[in-house]
């Protein structure tokens, strides 16, 4: 336990003034990284020790249980467990629950009421909507006409409750809590009010209260029985800028008993308007509580000075913002790094390469788990995930599911597995997606019959369809009709896309599935609010599937659709396997909202484009700006920002008709150029020392500025295989193998006829050497002219002006069907693709090994990057999508 008042010794002057504030009402406006949790904790300790307030007479309201627990633990360290355990602390909801359990009888709550969690409320609303489908009255008809999902309906009710509107038994109209302003009339449509009334009645019947009810009932309790909080002497609120209208009204009621108030917040970090948070509450408090003292914490202990300068330049664009600054405690010579890319894919691959370069250049100083990529919305992560996976960068997701873990993607992958091999697990997943009247009871019975008879799930389904197996004594015609329809759909897809003589792309197959099962319509029925984001994910999956087809078609490599499908499913399985949860060192991918309150040594802020941030659907420009400010101030030592000019991927047309993106308006203007650098960061001992000081890491490995990125490119400058050689080897392998599939490269090498198809004469170095485990080392080796010609012919169309992304994609795709050890060596040594075929051929056939070149800008290229699929093909595919009403 710390000695009495020792906690004050570790505070700066601003913090100490805030902790010892003698004012009845105190606002502490704490900038990011200014130690607000430390100040709030010290304020509690000061009130308990110096002002002699009993722990049970304090209320500490936070926005997460994690924050409440952290404050309690710190109080324990100062005062001991006995005092900390008496504190009334937690979220607004948990504090309300404690009082309602104790005093709820005063407002008519029974002694055994329970909280309805999200699953409970969803189930209740689903039952209500199902019952309204059968009801025959005007209001029920109106609700049916809106095609509400359970979540849509619950969102409407939350909106009504967050404005203080209550349902009362025996009353058709909603009543407003005394003391609150009348909300807009458009909120109270007949359908919404009736839905609210039916929902609330159902909660009452089941003796339940949802989370919104906790706050509303607490307000009713304080209004009817104010003595229950008469002992409260001081109220402390964390993250005050995120309080809602109802929560602020609660604070006012708690303070009616002559309680003092201390709030900690930052108007610059108010980013939860979509949750009914009211940034105006800060100003409202000053009006409602006369003599409110405003104090500032402006000393930042997290971020380097150049990062704060950029963040302040962004937030200061809001001219209505009160002027306040941020002073860094860390000096750094590195400005935030900004890049503008041609496409989002180029941006993603650059980020993946730069992450590998940072970790490789700064051993024992920066690790993968020190790095975060923060995005505006979860729909932006797929391209990043793809790039990180291909370059072998481990990552984890926060605030969003990994791409292949998302429900809609898992549905479609399951359909592909059913078509590939009638996988039982996948069949069980999709047999009732979209809903086909094949419920869990029927599925369980089919599983039972499969196990009892020793049949696969698919075989049992067909036996049931033919009525050779009965699942019940009565003949369920509706079920049989649904089952036959499902099996017929699978059969149609097989005949149309997978039977002999067909060479459809995987995108054709996926689009066929989407059309056959009417998946878009299913997503709309399920939840209108999320359909756009989910559909973007679906379109991205179509794009990823199409990439594998493009590679083989560009190489004139004939392969059946079923083999393409198997390769694609294998690739997905390998990607997921590479991201095992057991790995501790992982880059974090998070949404900006989920990153609030967190920090990382290195932060990437990609996709900083207009219509992304600010979001196209947001009507609050200032809140979007604050969101970018929050993202920038998560960085401690290094901050990277980037934008792109155009979108690639199957959902490009959904973003913008011409796929053109403009830079976010928050980054425009000459003023912004003062705070960022566009040249590549060069790592050296001086930069490492600055980073180490910021992070508190005094010892680390030898710093070497890497420019060649590959798993064998390390900080010691170890030689690694020539990149051009590797690229040519991969492409030549695909070219020479285009007429047949073989089990391994070695098997193919035995066939002299295939090897000599280009009439290449034998020499010390020829195409055959590309299949060997090692490249020629002798730089003086003689190369026959026919061999050189053959090499150039192979590389001509496939390597010239080819981007790194496409070459790496070829490697990844081929890895599932080629000799594992050979392809492993290729993948390990791939860095960035060379710019021209001449450089590739000359380096491959003449140079042999080369050293890692240091201090070279990896991202400069004078060549125009070719798309993975010809523009015409993409356009035709877009037309097919529009015709099928899928865009």
Residue 233: name the closest of 198, 257, 203 by CA. Answer: 257
User: From residue 91, how far is each of 98, 120, 742 by CA, in Å?
Assistant: 11, 21, 62
- Cα separation, 102 vs 110, whole angstroms: 11
Higher pLDDT residue, 34 or 547? 34
Query: What end-to-end distance do the CA atoms of the chain give, in Å?
Result: 62
CB 833, CB 802: distance < 8 Å = yes
The continuous run of DSSP H or E covering 27 comes out as: strand 25-30
pLDDT of residue 845: 38
pLDDT of residue 469: 80
**Residue 527: count of CB within 10 angstroms of its CB:** 15
The continuous run of DSSP H or E covering 600 comes out as: strand 600-605
pLDDT of residue 867: 33
Mean pLDDT of 277-302: 89
What pLDDT, in 10s, does the model give residues 526-561?
Answer: 877 778 778 888 887 887 776 655 544 444 445 677
For residue 377, what are the contacts with CB-CB under 8 A and spacing of at least 6? 533, 591, 612, 615
The continuous run of DSSP H or E covering 725 comes out as: helix 723-736
- Cα separation, 69 vs 352, whole angstroms: 36
What pLDDT, in 10s, does the model give residues 333-346?
Answer: 899 999 999 999 89
CB 641, CB 336: distance < 8 Å = yes
**Residues 762-785 as b or e (16 or more Cβ within 10 Å = b):** ebebbbbbbbeeebbeeeeeebee
What pLDDT, in 10s, does the model give residues 155-171?
Answer: 889 989 988 999 887 77
CB 90, CB 68: distance < 8 Å = yes
Q: Check residue 848 and give left, alpha or beta (phi > 0: left; psi -120 to 50: alpha).
A: left
- Cα separation, 287 vs 279, whole angstroms: 14
Quick check: 414 pLDDT over 70? yes
pLDDT of residue 140: 64
Mean pLDDT of 873-882: 31
What pLDDT, in 10s, does the model give residues 761-796?
Answer: 333 333 434 333 333 333 333 444 444 444 444 444
- Cα separation, 238 vs 262, whole angstroms: 9
Reported as a pLDDT band with limits 50, 70 and 90, residue 185 is: confident
Quick check: 108 pLDDT over 50? yes
Q: Check residue 259 and give left, alpha or beta (phi > 0: left; psi -120 to 50: alpha).
A: beta
Q: Which two tokens stand for residue 593?
A: 């909202």
- Cα separation, 483 vs 280, whole angstroms: 56
3-state secondary structure of 414: helix
Q: Which two tokens stand for residue 770?
A: 């590309």
Mean pLDDT of 459-483: 81
- Cα separation, 443 vs 428, whole angstroms: 7
Mean pLDDT of 847-868: 31
Greatest CA separation found in the chain?
100
CB 837, CB 792: distance < 8 Å = yes
Reported as a pLDDT band with limits 50, 70 and 90, residue 570 is: low
Paired sense of beta strands 58-62 and 234-237, if any: parallel
pTM above 0.75, yes or no: no
At residue 854, φ and ψ (nearest 5 deg) are: -95, 160
Sorted by where each starts, the structural domains of the chain and their CATH numbers stand as 6-108+217-297 (3.40.50.300), 119-205 (no CATH), 308-398+582-695 (3.40.50.300), 405-578 (1.10.486.10), 723-850 (no CATH)
Reported as a pLDDT band with limits 50, 70 and 90, residue 855 is: very low
Reported as a pLDDT band with limits 50, 70 and 90, residue 821 is: very low
Torsion of CA 187, 189, 192, 195, to 10 degrees: 150
Higher pLDDT residue, 784 or 635? 635
CB 408, CB 523: distance < 8 Å = yes
Range scoring the smallest mean pLDDT among 161-175, 227-241, 366-380: 161-175
pLDDT of residue 726: 42
Can you say which residues are annotated as belonging to the binding site?
33-38, 302
CB 359, CB 686: distance < 8 Å = no
Reported as a pLDDT band with limits 50, 70 and 90, residue 149 is: confident
Mean pLDDT of 85-92: 88
pLDDT of residue 456: 84
pLDDT of residue 862: 31
pLDDT of residue 277: 66
Range scoring the smallest mean pLDDT among 394-398, 461-465, 575-579, 806-810: 806-810
User: Residue 382 class from Cβ within 10 Å (0-12 exposed, 13-18 middle, 19+ buried)?
Assistant: buried
What pLDDT, in 10s, does the model give residues 794-812?
Answer: 444 333 333 344 444 444 4
Instruction: Kindly tell me the sign of the dihedral angle through the C-alpha atoms of 169, 171, 173, 174.
Output: negative
pLDDT of residue 314: 93
Higher pLDDT residue, 338 or 423? 338
Sheet containing strand 88-91, strands side by side: 88-91, 58-62, 234-237, 260-265, 25-30, 293-297
What pLDDT, in 10s, does the model give residues 191-225?
Answer: 788 889 989 988 888 888 899 999 999 999 999 99
Higher pLDDT residue, 642 or 115? 642
Helices and strands, number each (H, E), in the chain: 36, 18
CB 665, CB 610: distance < 8 Å = yes
pLDDT of residue 863: 31
Q: Which two tokens stand for residue 691?
A: 């980073």
pLDDT of residue 116: 84
- Cα separation, 385 vs 378, whole angstroms: 11
Can you say which residues are annotated as belonging to the binding site for ATP?
33-38, 302
CB 272, CB 4: distance < 8 Å = no
pLDDT of residue 559: 63
pLDDT of residue 729: 45
Range scoring the smallest mean pLDDT among 4-18, 139-153, 317-331, 756-770: 756-770
pLDDT of residue 189: 77
- Cα separation, 544 vs 59, whole angstroms: 53
Paired sense of beta strands 208-209 and 114-115, if any: parallel
Reported as a pLDDT band with limits 50, 70 and 90, residue 260 is: very high
CB 270, CB 631: distance < 8 Å = no
Quick check: 235 pLDDT over 90? yes
What pLDDT, in 10s, does the model give residues 703-715?
Answer: 988 875 543 333 3
Reported as a pLDDT band with limits 50, 70 and 90, residue 421 is: confident
Q: What percent of the chain has pLDDT over 70?
A: 71
């Amino acid at each position: 336990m710390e000695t009495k008042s020792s906690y004050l010794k570790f505070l700066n002057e601003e913090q100490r003034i805030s902790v010892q504030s003698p004012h009845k009402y105190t606002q502490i406006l704490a900038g990011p990284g200014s130690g607000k949790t430390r100040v709030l904790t010290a304020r509690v300790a000061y009130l308990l020790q110096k002002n002699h307030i009993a722990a049970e007479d304090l209320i500490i309201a936070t926005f997460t249980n994690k924050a409440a627990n952290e404050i309690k633990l710190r109080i324990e360290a100062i005062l001991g467990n006995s005092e900390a355990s008496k504190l009334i602390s937690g979220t607004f909801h948990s504090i309300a629950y404690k009082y309602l359990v104790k005093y709820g009888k005063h407002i008519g709550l029974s002694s055994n009421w329970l909280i309805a969690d999200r699953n409970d409320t969803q189930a209740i609303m689903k039952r209500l909507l199902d019952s309204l489908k059968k009801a025959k009255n005007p209001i029920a008809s109106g609700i049916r006409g809106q095609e509400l999902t359970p979540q849509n309906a619950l969102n409407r009710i939350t909106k009504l409750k967050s404005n203080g509107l209550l349902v009362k038994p025996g009353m058709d109209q909603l009543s407003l809590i005394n003391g609150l302003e009348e909300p807009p009339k458009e909120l109270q449509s007949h359908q919404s009010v009736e839905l609210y009334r039916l929902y609330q009645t159902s909660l009452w019947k089941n003796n339940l209260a949802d989370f919104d009810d906790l706050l509303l009932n607490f307000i009713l309790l304080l209004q009817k029985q104010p003595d229950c909080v008469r002992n409260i002497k001081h109220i402390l609120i964390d993250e005050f800028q995120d309080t809602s209208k109802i929560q602020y009204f609660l604070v006012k009621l708690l303070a009616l008993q002559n309680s003092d108030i201390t709030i900690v917040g930052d108007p610059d970090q108010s980013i939860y308007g979509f949750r009914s948070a009211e940034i105006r509450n800060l100003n409202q408090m000053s009006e409602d509580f006369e003599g409110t003292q405003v104090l500032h914490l402006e000393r930042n202990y997290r971020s380097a000075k150049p990062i704060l300068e950029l963040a302040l330049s962004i937030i200061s664009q809001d001219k209505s913002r009160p002027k306040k600054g941020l002073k860094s405690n860390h000096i750094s010579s590195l400005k935030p790094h900004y890049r503008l890319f041609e496409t989002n894919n180029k941006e993603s691959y650059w980020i993946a390469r730069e992450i590998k370069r940072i970790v490789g250049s700064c051993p024992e100083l920066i690790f993968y788990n020190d790095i975060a990529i923060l995005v505006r919305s979860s729909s932006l992560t797929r391209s990043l995930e793809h790039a990180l996976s291909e370059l072998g960068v481990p990552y984890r997701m926060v605030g969003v599911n990994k791409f292949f873990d998302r429900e809609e993607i898992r549905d479609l992958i399951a359909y592909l597995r059913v078509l590939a091999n009638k996988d039982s697990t996948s069949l069980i997943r999709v047999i009732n997606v979209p809903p086909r009247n094949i419920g869990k009871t029927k599925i369980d019975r089919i599983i039972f019959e499969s196990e009892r008879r020793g049949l696969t799930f698919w075989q049992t389904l067909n036996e049931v369809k033919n009525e050779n197996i009965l699942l019940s004594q009565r003949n369920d015609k509706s079920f049989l009709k649904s089952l036959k329809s499902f099996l017929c759909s699978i059969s149609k897809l097989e005949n149309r896309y997978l039977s002999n003589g067909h060479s459809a792309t995987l995108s054709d197959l996926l689009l066929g599935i989407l059309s056959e099962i009417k998946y878009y319509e299913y997503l709309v029925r399920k939840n209108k609010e999320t359909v756009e984001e989910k559909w973007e994910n679906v379109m991205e999956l179509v794009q990823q599937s199409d990439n594998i087809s493009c590679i083989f078609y560009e190489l004139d490599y004939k392969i059946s659709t079923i083999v393409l499908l198997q390769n694609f499913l294998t690739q997905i399985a390998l990607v997921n396997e590479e991201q095992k949860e057991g790995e501790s060192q992982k880059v974090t991918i998070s949404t900006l909202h989920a990153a609030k309150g967190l920090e990382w040594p290195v932060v990437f802020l990609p996709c900083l484009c207009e219509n992304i941030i600010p979001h196209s659907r947001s009507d609050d420009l200032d809140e979007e700006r604050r969101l970018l400010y929050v993202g920038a101030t998560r960085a401690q030592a290094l901050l990277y920002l980037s934008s792109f000019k155009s979108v690639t991927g199957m959902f490009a047309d959904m973003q913008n008709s011409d796929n053109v993106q403009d830079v976010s308006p928050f980054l425009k203007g000459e003023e912004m150029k003062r705070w960022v650098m566009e040249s590549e960061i060069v790592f050296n001992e001086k930069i490492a020392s600055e980073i180490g000081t910021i992070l508190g890491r005094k010892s680390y490995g030898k710093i070497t500025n890497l420019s060649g990125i590959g798993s064998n490119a390390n900080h010691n400058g170890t030689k690694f295989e020539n990149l051009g050689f590797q690229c040519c080897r991969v492409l030549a392998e695909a070219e020479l193998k285009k007429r047949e599939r073989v089990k391994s490269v070695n098997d193919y090498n035995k066939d002299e006829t295939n090897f000599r198809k280009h009439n290449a004469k034998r020499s010390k170095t020829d195409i055959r050497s590309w299949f060997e485990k090692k490249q020629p080392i002798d730089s003086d080796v003689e190369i026959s002219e026919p061999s050189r010609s053959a090499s150039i012919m192979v590389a001509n169309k496939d390597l010239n002006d080819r981007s790194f992304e496409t070459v790496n994609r070829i490697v990844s795709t081929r890895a599932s069907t080629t000799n594992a050890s050979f392809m492993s060596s290729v993948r390990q040594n791939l860095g960035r693709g060379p710019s021209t075929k001449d450089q590739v051929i000359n380096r491959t056939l003449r140079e042999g090994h080369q050293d890692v070149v240091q201090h070279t800008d990896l991202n400069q290229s004078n060549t125009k990057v070719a798309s993975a699929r010809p523009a015409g093909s993409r356009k035709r595919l877009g037309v097919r999508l529009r015709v099928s009403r899928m865009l």
